[in-house]
Structure 1
Amino acid sequence: MSIIPSIHPSTPDETAPPSAHSTAEIDTATASFSPRLYNADLAPVTHRTWRVYDIFAMWMQDIHSITVYTFAASLFFMGLNGIQVFIALAVSVVIIWGLMNLSGLAGQRTGVPFPVLARSSFGVWGANVPAMIRATIAVIYYGILTYLGSTGLQIALLQLSYNTFEPMTKPSFLGLSALGWLCFALMWIIQLAVVRRGMEAIRKFQDWAGPAVWIVMFVLMIWMIIKAGGNISFNLSPHQASGWGLTYSMIAAIALTVSFFATFLVNFADFGRLTPDKRTVVRGNFFGLPVNFILFAIVSVTVTSASITVFGEAITDPVALIQRTDSTTAILIGAMVFVVATIGINIVADFISCAYDFANLAPRRINFFRGGVLAAVLSVLPLPWHLYNNPDSIAYFVGGLGAFLGPLFGVLMTDYWIIKRGHVDVDALYDDAPTGKYHFLRGFNPRALVAVTAATIPAAILALVPYFSAWAPFSWVIGAALAAVVHLALSWRQRAPKQVAA
């Protein structure tokens, strides 16, 4: 059975790219949209310019990062050997590919961003609930990744002129040195400059930035293999799991990898909407996920394994490895490429989501860029360097990701593909009248909210209470499954009739 749902014949208002209509037709349709629900950035997309390579490059931006590198290498320390890690990654990324297609195709068919699509499931006002959950997580991540990128800038500046910048490395304010604040501010400004011109500028940026990281990673891998004299062991775990422990570790590794992509699974409609057809989404995701992720994981694990031979310890931070080279040029190039990579993933994974989510709160006052600026400002408030350097806070934050995002995905996908059979009245998504199709009860769909609540509470307990630590890796799966079951049970009578082809 295919993991990609078949595309039923659809009504013109749902699937046809708005650019296929005349300007007069578009103006007539948008004239009836409520300004409380509509602005130009939240409108159905009018130009679908993203092709297979653009989706592939977007995934390169997301995957070619320090966080993914560290995550892939960390699976070895769950008691798995090299072959077992690769099997777990391969299985999980195929699952992710199928789930991501579900989310992306919903965006491609409707042409609207995630918070607007969520109105069909949660209500025109209730959609702000999942949007704000997603935005809160994105804001925290945005701050952490901005800080991580700023450390690359610090390395580059110190390498260029140590005597000039070293005095600025002493702690000075709120736990960050003067040089740290300078580099953090530079990263903050550079990211806003990239996104100032909107999604088309982001597409062009990622199309060259993603491959640039690949080049550096391959060079780093070759250099490490040569330094290790080819003496590389992929059995990094100090204690090899066996029996039930091995089975648990394999399943947990698969579940954790799926959870690692929990943020994108919720709002991938933001990108799917920009593609012209189903084939583009599916093929772009295939090359960007199964192919790209497994290759990057192989490189990450190889470099980490070689670091044990070369340096006597497993180093899971590529920037730290580059710092140990004897070449100033290599350190500068490596540091700057990873700065670019961090900018790319932060924009793609966090800024875009926040921009749409905050715009959805008040479309008349907040557009795409203002929503992103609001997120950038808020990202500084938690002092992200403290979060990143505190293992306990990071553990709880990552654990909470699956618990809160899994239920959202479960409701959104079952509602779109099963309850509504893949058909949404796009115009009704911008209708705030009490008689509107997605107004439900005062703008909220109580069935969807009950399903999310019923699933989030047990998932959060499993993820965050130490007593249930053995179940923590499965919080996303459990949350998504519970939400899907509850929502289907509550909403089955509202299921759309099957559409018969003419």
Structure 2
Amino acid sequence: MGQNLAQLGDQSRLSPDLLPTKSEARTWKVSHFFSIWMGSVHNVPSYVTIGGFFALGISIWQVFFIIMFSSLLLAVMMVLNGHAGSKYGIPFSILLRSSYGKKGALFPGVLRGVIAAIMWFGLQTYAGSLAVMILIGEFWPAYLTLGGEFNLLGLNLPGLLSFLLFWMINVLFIFAGMERLGKLTKIVSPLVFVVFGGMAIWSINLAGGITPILSYSAKGAEGNSLFIFMTCVSAIMATWVAQILSVADVTRFSRSNKEQTIGQISGLIITYLLFAVASITIIVGSEIAFGVPIWNVLDVVERFDSKFSIALSLTTICLSSLSVNIVGNIIPAGFQLTALFPKKLNFKTGALIAAIIGILIMPWKLMENPTSIFTFLNIVGGLLSPVIGVMLTHYYLICKKEINIQELYSFNDNHLSQGTHLPAMLATIIAGLISLTGNFVPLFAPLTSISWFTGIFLAIPLYLAFFYASKLVELKAVKE
């Protein structure tokens, strides 16, 4: 195996970080995959999303069913797109070559691994720094007033110090390696259950028991119930589109496909079950108790009357944010930058550059105008969901789960190693444009409202049609 990897490195001229994972480095077990995505489930944006569902007038049991259906769908998508990573040990940036070609892979790779990942890295780092600032201020109140009127590009001194501190902790994990990341997720796992389970109990007590929460009556959502259901599921899935795409970056470290399959399915469904209970009880319970629903878990923590509970909760939120930031943002960005500049960068230098850019985009400024941020992210999500459709179609229906690794890493003159696979590009662009058309043409607004479904389920037939049409053209050219 080692000799084969060396040969691939020589012929591909790539950084060793992009070569198939060595057998001795494939150490991730079920327990690693069980806990890896907990930070991606339990975070502030996720709770705000559920709050939006209640704002639509959806009932408790409808919200619960939406969450659990989404968790099952998500688990299936993660396992399906993670299969190639666990089987061949290749990262997402190399796997893309199978369906898009070497040059063609740069388009979806840059969208996911650079633009979306770096922006999310900056935003998650800033969100985590807010928890850090509250945590330090709880034990050192004077910290919150340091610097007086000091202001640097919109950040006061406590905000700036908290941001840089949390940023540096993220950077340390870049150099710590995947094994340390695996240990972090194992630490986060029990803390998440304790803290968010505790928040659920706290909210139930606030509401006067579970009965008032279960008796909560929604005003009722207007419109087609099936369409509203698909819209809500699409909203949850859209927040995962990037992780679904690049899941091979973590499944490549799996000891077997069985390990990642059992780990991801059990982990996501059980974690989302806790999330469903916690999010519903926190939002509904706070509305019953205070007359106003609390959608931000940081606001919930600040209402606790125990310093220990506050410290434990904020620490868990920080670790959870750190986990999702490393796995969902910095790892894909590092690998993609390495793929773009294989002779100059390795994973660690690429990830460090991504982290530095994450500061330069000034995410605290971006969060001052949330409308523009989420418009941008929706556009990226609309363009990325067709990539999932193309990748799954190519791997399962075209390749039948068989990939020529030598061809992916070679510099021979074929569409995989050198050029652009036109059917994949056309399917991605057309499906992406249609899924986003509703932003500009009201008639197509329903398609944009369910852009995750629109992008994937348009890309599949489009790719198959373009792929077999190209084969017919090639066959005709050969006969002539």
- TM-score, normalised to structure 2, is 0.91
Asked if 1:485 corresponds to 2:464, the answer is no
* SS across alignment from 1:256: helix
Q: Is the 8 A contact 1:108 1:277 kept in 2?
A: yes
Mean Cα deviation higher: 42-51 or 249-258: 249-258
Who is 1:55 aligned against? 33
Secondary structure of 1:144's counterpart equals: helix
User: In the alignment, is the contact (CA less than 8 A) between 2:437 and 2:445 conserved in 1?
Assistant: no
Deviation at 1:310, TM superposition (A): 2.5
Q: Relative to structure 1, is the Cα distance of residues 370 and 32 closer, same or farther in structure 2, using a 3 angstrom cutoff?
A: closer
Q: Name the counterpart of 2:428.
A: 452
Q: Give the direction of change, closer, same or farther, for the CA distance of 1:170–1:210 in structure 2 (3 Å limit).
A: farther
3-state SS in 1 of match to 2:36: helix
Amino acid at match of 1:55: F
Paired residue for 1:274? 253
Alignment of 1:331 onto 2:325: no
Partner of 2:354: 375
What whole-Å deviation, never above 9, does each CA across 1:447-497 have from its counterpart, x for those lacking one? 2112211122222222566775443321121112222222111112678xx
Q: Structure 1 residues 463, 170: closer, same or farther in 2, change over 3 A?
A: farther
For residue 134 of structure 2, what is the aligned residue in structure 1? 155
CA positional deviation for 1:232: 3.5
Is 2:118 the partner of 1:118? no
What is the CA–CA distance in structure 2 between the aligned matches of 1:493 and 1:80, rounded to whole Å? 45
2:393 is aligned, of 405, 408, 414, to 414
Q: 3-state DSSP class of the match of 1:118?
A: helix
The secondary structure found in structure 2 opposite 1:314 is coil
Indicate how the Cα distance of structure 1 residues 168 and 152 shifts in structure 2: closer, same or farther if over 3 A, else same: farther
2:52 maps to which residue?
Answer: 74
CA contact (8 A) 1:396 1:464 kept: no
Per-residue CA deviation, residues 181-226 of structure 1 (Å, 9 max, x unaligned), is 1111111101111221221221111111232122111122222222
1:320–1:443 distance in 2 versus 1, CA, 3 Å: same
* Shift in alpha-carbon separation, 1:417–1:235, aligned structure 2, 3 A: farther
Q: From the superposition, tell whether residues 466 and 146 of structure 1 become closer, same or farther in structure 2 (CA, over 3 Å).
A: farther
Q: Deviations over 1:4-43 (max 9, x none)?
A: xxxxxxxxxxxxxxxxx3x44543x3354221xx221111
SS in 2 for 1:176: coil
CA RMSD of aligned residues (A): 2.2
Number of positions where the alignment pairs a residue of Structure 1 with one of Structure 2? 467
Work out the CA distance in 1 between the residues paired with 2:120 and 2:5. Answer: 37
Secondary structure of the residue aligned to 1:173 is: coil
Deviations 1:130-176 (A, max 9, x none): 11000210111000000000001111222222234314475612211
SS in 1 for 2:198: helix
1:88-128 Cα distance to aligned partner (Å, 9 max, x none): 22222222222222101121122100010101111122211
Alignment CA distance shift 1:70-1:178 (3 Å): same
Tell me whether 359-368 or 209-218 shows the greater mean CA deviation: 209-218
Determine helix, strand or coil for the equivalent of 1:363: coil
Partner Cα distance (1:267, 1:474) in 2: 21
Matched, 1:356 2:335: yes
Separation in 2 of the partners of 1:265 and 1:464? 27
Correspondence list, 1:256-295, <5 A: 256-295=235-274
The 2-side partners of 1:131 and 1:247 are apart by 33
Aligned to 2:151, the other structure's residue is in SS state: strand
* CA distance 1:466–1:389, shift in 2 (3 Å): farther
SS at match of 1:172: coil
Q: Distance in 2 between matches of 1:324 and 1:31?
A: 55
- Aligned counterpart, 1:165: 144
Q: Separation in 2 of the partners of 1:159 and 1:494?
A: 64
Match of 1:97 among 72, 75, 97: 75
Distance 1:464 1:53 in 2: 45
CA deviations over 1:53-77 (Å, ceiling 9, x no partner): 1001102232122222332343222
Q: Using the alignment, how far apart are the partners of 1:196 and 1:464 within structure 2?
A: 44
Equivalent in 121, 139, 154 of residue 142 of structure 1: 121
Larger mean CA deviation between 366-375 and 324-333 belongs to 324-333
Match of 1:107 in 2: 85
Give the corresponding residue for 1:251: 230
Task: Give the distance between the partners of 1:236 and 1:466, measured in 2 at CA.
Answer: 34
Gap runs ≥5 in structure 2: 472-480
Higher helix share: 2
- Give the direction of change, closer, same or farther, for the CA distance of 1:93–1:225 in structure 2 (3 Å limit): same
Trace 1:422-461 onto structure 2 (pairs within 5 A).
422-434=401-413, 436=414, 438-439=416-417, 442-461=418-437
Q: 2:18 aligns with which of 37, 42, 46?
A: 42
Structure 1: stretches of 5+ with no match in the other structure: 1-20, 496-502
Identity of aligned residues (%): 28
Q: Residue 365 of structure 1 aligns to a residue in which SS?
A: coil
Match 2:220 to one of 240, 251, 254: 240
1:400–1:463 CA contact under 8 A, matched in 2: no
Task: Write out per-residue CA displacement over residues 339-367 of structure 1, whole angstroms, 9 at most, x where no aligned residue.
Answer: 11111111111111111111111122111
Letter in 2 for 1:80: I
How far apart are the structure 2 equivalents of 1:167 and 1:237?
46
Contact 1:77 1:237 in 2 (8 A): no
- Does 177-186 or 233-242 show the bigger shift? 233-242
The corresponding residue for 1:472 is 448
On the 8 A contact 2:90/2:252 being kept in 1, the answer is yes
Kept in 2: contact 1:113–1:273 (CA 8 A): yes
